[in-house]
Amino acid sequence: MSGVFQPHLLSGKAAYVTGGSSGICLGIAQLFAAHGARVGIQSRNREKLDAAVAALGPHASGYAADVRDFDATAGALAAFAATGPIDILVCGAAGNFPAPVTAMSANGFKAVVDIDLLGTFNTCRAAFELLRKPGASVISISATHGSHPYAAQAHVCAAKAGVDMLNRVLALEWGPAGVRVNVIAPGPVDGTEGMRRLAPTAEARAEVARNVPLGRFAAIEEIAEAALFLSSPAAAYITGTILTVDGGVSLNGGRFLARG
Ligand code: COA
């Protein structure tokens, strides 16, 4: 439960979260469920999905589908919508591995761009008619990679820059329907697969923390609280924005990863 917000901010609402079986997006699903939302989560891995749904409680359901597959994602969203109207969409499924361009195959680049960017497009495109109503909220989880270049992250940087721009276009197109569309750009977040891959040693973690003005990683819950804010009536006039939640690391030229 959030330490900042009063409980039940999302009572009577339903949220669909891709990538919701682990990491930041599981944290978002947990916080939304704690605030009274019905939650549907989508993930590729059936085992992780089942474990997450069990942890989320009786008002949660899970859908096994790859966001790269439009038809599978549309089918999963339709199955969740059959249980009641959708109010909130969180596009969070993502992939990453550190590799310089010379060690990255075309398929490796494509795998990440397809999960992060095409997957976000697929999810938003398939969900729009299901959540189209004033007050609906769409959030995509980007990263400071969308605005800062990092060595060994060409695929993620390109994909997240695309996610940031896609969401600004969607905010323009869907604003007249009353649907708000925003991005959260986290910096380094503790307890995520991404940071396990990018900073696998104690030394690497310390180097990351040294470059963050606030001097530490974010907790998953701190990203979830930003998502809760953006999905709540407190953000009713906010659309098309990128909410950076990075402890100030992007002020530092975003320098917290390997510089090549
Ligand atoms: N270095 C270089 N290339 C790599 C790599 C690495 N560490 N890991 C994967 N690849 C390449 C593969 O070799 C393959 O390319 P190839 O066909 O030319 O050999 C390509 O990436 C796709 O890999 P594959 O494992 O078949 O794809 P996938 O769809 O099963 O997995 C990934 C997608 C690669 C993003 C994988 O890392 C993943 O599933 N990640 C999910 C979890 C995650 O990354 N979480 C962090 C989110 S921030």
| Ligand 1 contact, 104 CB (< 6 A) | yes
Q: Cα(207)–Cα(113) distance, rounded to whole angstroms? A: 27
Q: Cα(216)–Cα(153) distance, rounded to whole angstroms? A: 21
Instruction: Name the stretches of the chain with pLDDT < 70.
Output: 1-3, 254-260
For 60, phi then psi, to 5°, come to -115, 150
Ligand 1, from 18, 21, 68, 107: best to mutate by most atoms within 8 Å of Cβ?
Answer: 107
**Cα–ligand 1 centroid distance for 208 (angstroms):** 23
Say if domain 14-244 classifies as CATH 3.40.630.30: no
Question: Can you give the C-alpha Rg of the chain in angstroms?
Answer: 17
Domain boundaries in the chain?
Answer: 14-244
Q: Cα(237)–Cα(215) distance, rounded to whole angstroms? A: 32
**Cα–ligand 1 centroid distance for 97 (angstroms):** 7
For 242, phi then psi, to 5°, come to -110, 110
Q: Cα(231)–Cα(161) distance, rounded to whole angstroms? A: 22
**Cα–ligand 1 centroid distance for 68 (angstroms):** 13
DSSP reduced 3-state for 73 = helix
Question: Which numbered atom of ligand 1 lies nearest the CA of 95?
Answer: 44
Pair 43, 69: CB distance under 8 Å: no
| Ligand 1 contact, 194 CB (< 6 A) | yes
**Cα–ligand 1 centroid distance for 113 (angstroms):** 11
- Tokens standing for residue 194: 């991404």
State residue 253's pLDDT score.
75
**234 to 31, 61, 64, 194, 238: CA distances (angstroms):** 16, 27, 32, 30, 9
Residue 240: Cβ within 10 Å count:
16
Q: Cα(90)–Cα(223) distance, rounded to whole angstroms? A: 12
Q: What is the DSSP string of 201-233?
A: SHHHHHHHHHTSTTSSPBPHHHHHHHHHHHHSG
Pair 229, 124: CB distance under 8 Å: no
Question: Which numbered atom of ligand 1 lies nearest the CA of 112?
Answer: 35
Per-residue pLDDT reduced to its tens digit, 45-67: 999 999 999 999 999 999 999 99
- Tokens 């990683």 sit on residue: 217
Pair 47, 102: CB distance under 8 Å: no
- Tokens standing for residue 166: 């896609």
| Ligand 1 contact, 105 CB (< 6 A) | yes
Q: Show the DSSP H helices in the chain as ranges.
A: 23-34, 46-56, 70-81, 106-113, 119-131, 154-174, 193-198, 202-210, 220-231
End-to-end CA distance of the chain: 40
| Ligand 1 contact, 107 CB (< 6 A) | yes
- Tokens standing for residue 121: 């497009």
How far is residue 205 CA from its own chain's centroid? 22
| Ligand 1 contact, 99 CB (< 6 A) | yes
State residue 260's pLDDT score.
43
